[in-house]
Structure formats: structure tokens, C-alpha cells
Amino acid sequence: MLLFSSFIQPFVSVGRLTLPTYGIMLALAFIVAGIIFYLLAPRADLPRPDAFNVLALILVGGVVGAKLFYLLTLIPHWKKLAAAGWQAVLEQ
């Protein structure tokens, strides 16, 4: 594990843009899974336009659910956060 630690880059810089590698891999995984789901949808008697709608709902639900889960995990720290301001939490 230590052998590869020097090769692990948590961020990729492209010009002035810095992207986290986790986000890139997550987006890539969603795109590949979405393409596979879209192509295989007719086998399950699901029209392709409906498959696209399902993918959009999954994406929105995942983002909203992740943010809600993040806020719920902060419950023990709400007093500190209320003093610091919720805007700082929502920006993360």
C-alpha cells in the first residue's frame, strides 16, 4: 500500500481547473452504467425514453439524498454550526 501512495493523486489539474479524482470516477461510473442501462432497457420492456427519465431521477435523487445524509450526520454539531452559520455547511 505504501508503495503506491506516491502515485495516488487526489486532484487532477487541467489548466486553472482542479478536479477531484473521486468525482471524475463517480461521474464516469454513472455515465457507463447509464449507457448500459439505456441499451439494455428494451430487454426489460422499458422504452428507452423512459429509461432516460429513470436515469435522470436516479441522478437527482442521489445528489439530494447525499446532501440530506450529510446534513443528518451533522446533527450532533448543530449548535456549533448554528453559531457559525448554515451557509458554510451548504457550500461544502
Contact 18, 7 (CB under 8 A): no
How many structural domains does the chain have?
Answer: 1
Whether 23 is in a domain gets the answer yes
Is the confidence at residue 4, as pLDDT, over 60?
no
Confidence of residue 91 (pLDDT cuts 50, 70, 90): low
Question: What are the tens digits of pLDDT across the range 12-65?
Answer: 888 898 888 888 888 899 999 999 999 999 999 999 889 989 999 999 999 899
Whether 49 is in a domain gets the answer yes
Contact 83, 68 (CB under 8 A): no
Rounded Cα distance between 20 and 11, Å, is 4
- Domain range for 44 is 2-64
Task: Residue 24: name the closest of 16, 32, 69 by CA.
Answer: 32
Is the confidence at residue 86, as pLDDT, over 80?
no
Whether 42 is in a domain gets the answer yes
Contact 1, 30 (CB under 8 A): no
Task: Residue 66: name the closest of 33, 38, 30 by CA.
Answer: 30
Whether 88 is in a domain gets the answer no
